[in-house]
Amino acid sequence: MSIFDNLRNSVSNAVGGGSAQSGTFTFTFQRLPESLDEMKALPEAAMDTPYKTAALTVLALCAYAAAPEIGKEMLNFLKGPAPLSGYEISFLNDRFRDSKLVPFSYFAGATPENSYTPSQPFTLTIFSNPYSFQSENRATLHLNSGGADNPRQIKLRLKPSEEKWYLEEQMILVGIRAAKTDDPWA
């Protein structure tokens, strides 16, 4: 039984790959990882680009929606030397109290009309803009949600001694349009 069965009946397994085009990277996953070990087995777990770490952040937040302890393990892995603080855990719990659909809204095909059910395989597009790399060893990357008009951000930080990019802050768990099935006015 999948950890995602309670959220969605149609979740598959993650094998990722990224392709680049002028500051835009697209990652495709056959299924979503259901444990930290499954996440670490993905090629993106090398975390040698900020784009890979950003993609893994979305996967970890999906896991958090389904199983908070597993999602917390994944996020702590992505945060590296600065694990989740009590405030961040409280924030995550608060964000997921009303809806668990927000992280799924970043995958291709997820819209309010289909209750944010992503197309499969799961596809994420992460992009930079002219301001993304203004500070040394830091990056601010962007994602579009099928339920929002403006891109959302994930901030990452390079640890030069490891040549790995770690999650510093995510600003993607903000409100999205209500799923059609949850909208009393639909």
Band of the pLDDT at 16, cuts 50, 70, 90?
A: very low
Residue 122 lies in a domain: yes
Residue 7 lies in a domain: no
Q: Which two tokens stand for residue 173?
A: 């768990």
The mean pLDDT of the chain is 89
Q: Does residue 90 have a pLDDT over 60?
A: yes
Q: Does residue 7 have a pLDDT over 80?
A: no
Residue 3 lies in a domain: no
Decide if 59 contacts 33 (C-beta within 8 A).
yes
Residue 10 lies in a domain: no
Residue 6 has a pLDDT of 59
- Residue-number span of the structural domain to which 100 is assigned: 18-182
β-sheet with 152-159: strand ranges across = 18-21, 24-29, 122-127, 138-143, 152-159, 164-171
Local structure of 150: helix, strand or coil: coil
The number of folded domains in the chain is 1
Burial class for 88, CB neighbours closer than 10 Å (0-12, 13-18, 19+): middle
